[in-house]
């Protein structure tokens, strides 16, 4: 019994570590509202104030609870991440994509959208990592209602085992 719990904790920690590393990279991105085009990043550490930033072609927004962390990065796209208590959320949008994450307590969703009309939505539904990756022209989501891939992309939830993969 102890081994199973330890293994699950290791998986969750590894998933959160991956999100944390991506969030740390995002922290180095500019997070100032600007009229200039270019990539922007937003991050809200545990207990921090919500953050938004906007350029001519990019928008990002983050919000986090007292023990949650959220990071969003956009380069010619829109990214938003919200994390509640004991959760981590990451959203990355590139070249016309829209990425949105919502992380209830204990979850770690990530959404990545790249290319025109790409939309990725990742809503944490079970403890651990979930991810949605959308290619140009695709709509990909993962959440309490399962995984859905319309167009090229991947979605998966390590907690439930639900996933979809669309190659064309």
Q: Tens digits of per-residue pLDDT, 143-165? A: 999 999 999 999 999 999 999 99
Task: Give yes or no for residue 11 having a pLDDT over 90.
Answer: no
pLDDT top residue among 22 and 113: 113
Please give the sequence-ordered ranges of beta strands (E in DSSP) within the chain, or none if there are none.
40-44, 51-54, 59-64, 69-75, 78-83, 88-94, 98-103, 107-114, 119-123, 128-134, 139-143, 146-150, 153-157, 163-166
Contacts of 59 (CB under 8 A, 6+ apart): 40, 52, 53, 74, 77, 78, 79
- Domain assignments of the chain as residue spans, ordered by start: 2-166
Q: What pLDDT sits at residue 37?
A: 65
pLDDT of residue 4: 33
């Amino acid at each position: 019994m102890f081994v199973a719990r330890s293994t699950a904790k290791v998986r969750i920690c590894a998933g959160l570590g991956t999100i944390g590393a991506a969030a740390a990279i995002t922290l180095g991105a500019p997070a100032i509202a600007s009229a200039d085009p270019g990539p922007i990043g937003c991050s809200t550490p545990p207990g921090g104030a919500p953050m938004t930033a906007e350029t001519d072609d990019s928008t990002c927004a983050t919000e986090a609870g007292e023990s949650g962390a959220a990071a969003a990065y956009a380069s010619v796209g829109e990214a938003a991440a919200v994390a509640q208590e004991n959760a981590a959320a990451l959203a990355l949008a590139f070249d016309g994509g829209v990425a949105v994450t919502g992380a209830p307590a204990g979850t770690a969703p990530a959404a990545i959208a790249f290319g025109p009309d790409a939309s990725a939505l990742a809503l944490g539904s079970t403890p651990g990592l979930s991810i949605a990756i959308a290619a140009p022209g695709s709509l990909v989501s993962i959440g309490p209602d399962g995984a859905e891939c319309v167009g090229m992309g991947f979605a998966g939830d390590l907690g439930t085992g639900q996933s979809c993969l669309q190659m064309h």
